[in-house]
Amino acid sequence: MEDKKRETFKIKRETHQVSQEVKDGLKAYNKIKKQIVEAIGDEELTIPQIAEKLSMSKPETLYYVMSLLKFGIVQTAGIDDMDEYYFYKLKK
């Protein structure tokens, strides 16, 4: 049974091709992810602060930060004084 699974995965790897569009999307995501991680560094920043540092729109920044939160790369670090924005920091 294990050999059949192994053979099936081998065939799948050899025959299935990932489109260039998907490869480009992953490359762009990884680039933005790296920029956000570098922007946060050892600080605790809100979405508007990260957006300003990276010259990105707030909705786009929110999208990427939420994906980083989902995958455990960043975590919330509290909320600002006016209860408007969460602070985000890198997960250690």
Residue 6 lies in a domain: no
The domain total for the chain is 1
Q: What is the pLDDT of residues 14-50, one digit of tens each?
A: 888 888 999 999 999 999 999 999 999 999 999 999 9
Range of the domain at 52: 19-90
Query: Which pTM does this prediction carry?
Result: 0.78
**Residue 74 burial (C-beta neighbours within 10 Å; 0-12, 13-18, 19+):** buried
Q: What is the CATH number of the domain that holds 77?
A: 1.10.10.10
**Higher pLDDT among residues 56 and 11, named by residue:** 56
Q: What is the pLDDT of residues 6-19, one digit of tens each?
A: 778 788 878 888 88
pLDDT at 1 (0 to 100): 62
**Higher pLDDT among residues 83 and 73, named by residue:** 73
